[in-house]
Amino acid sequence: MRTVFGAGDDHRMFQPDVLHWKCLAPHPFWEGSRGYALRYKGEIAAFGCAVPYRFLSGPGTVAGCNVIDWAASKAVPGAGLMLYRHIQTLAGTMINIGGTADARRVLPANGFEVRAELHHFTRVLRPLRHMRHAPARDWKSPLRLARDYRELARATPTARPARASQPITAFPDPAATHQVVCARTPESLAYVIACPAAKIESYVFNGGYFLLSRIGHQCRIADLWVASPRAQDWAAAYAAAAAAADTAAITAGASQPLQIAALRQAGYRETHSEPVFVLDPDHQLGGRRDLALSLLENDAFYWSATQTR
């Protein structure tokens, strides 16, 4: 993986404790190891790690996974695809969020279809500090600083009162938003909180919760749930997450109009989006496209291209 991703020996994402957590630590939605390798002549030709999920669609539950750390040696053509197809036989449904240009080209040819977009948002809370933490500065930096101060002055919803808490006891219910939501359990959230690559904080409020993920100077909303179909209620929760972050900037992801509208109401600015590919050969999702995803559905809540040990 270090070779394929061009990472150094000290890259945090590929250290033994992080790989053990990703591949071997017990997960309530998957039995056994989640790391799979295809070997050719004694060497690893391809590798992938399954991130399991449970979609809640009405009364039913649809199991599946997303594959992260998907890497293949160019010396063995087709090895990565063979590995992916093997994991597919174990998972049933599969999703893939974003991916490289090669992945976006290969997936539709193998039965995947785009059913949603994961939109990424940022809210700058301390513009000057945010600029100082930027990886590089150029002639546009003062313009970005002025934009961030202007956006910070916009009126935003009053934050919901939230308190740090473990464990979380209120979980997503598809009836609350009429969306296909991802199941959360005490065990699955405990697995997330144990992530060694980030510091995960949990907060609860009346009718929901959110998780903050801290990686160095960065803070991300790993997950957020409100038992309400009203964008105003979600916006107040996103405002509460920003208040609890107490940092230069906070980022979040959302895939459905309800959450996207709430983020905008709460003063978050969209930065980019990624396609969500879905493979559902047995039509367990019934063609539904209203998949409510957060950063927990892959490695977006802790991945860092620059973090070292």
pTM: 0.92
Query: How far is residue 231 from each of residues 38, 76, 240, measured CA to CA in Å?
Result: 46, 49, 14
SS (H, E, C) 251-309: EEEECCHHHHHHHHHCCCEEEEEEEEEEECCCCCCCCCCCECCCHHHCCCCCCCCCCEC
How much is the pLDDT for 127? 81
CA distance 302 to 296: 9
How much is the pLDDT for 161? 85
The dihedral sign for the CA sequence 294, 300, 238, 267: negative
Query: In 3D, which of 160, 177, 171 has the Cα closest to residue 258?
Result: 177
Pairing of strands 269-279, 113-124: antiparallel
How much is the pLDDT for 68? 94
Q: What is the DSSP letter of 112?
A: -
Query: How far is residue 137 from each of residues 131, 132, 140, 219, 309, measured CA to CA in Å?
Result: 8, 9, 8, 21, 25
How much is the pLDDT for 188? 96
List, in order, residues 6 or more apart from 89 with CB less than 8 Å away.
none
How much is the pLDDT for 179? 95
- DSSP result, 118-183: EEEEEEESSHHHHHHHSS---TTHHHHHHHHHHHHTS--PPPPP-EE-SS------HHHHTSBEE-
How much is the pLDDT for 262? 97
CA distance 170 to 172: 7
Taking 50 as the pLDDT cut, the residues of the chain under it are none
Give tens-digit pLDDT for 170-193: 899 999 999 999 999 999 999 999
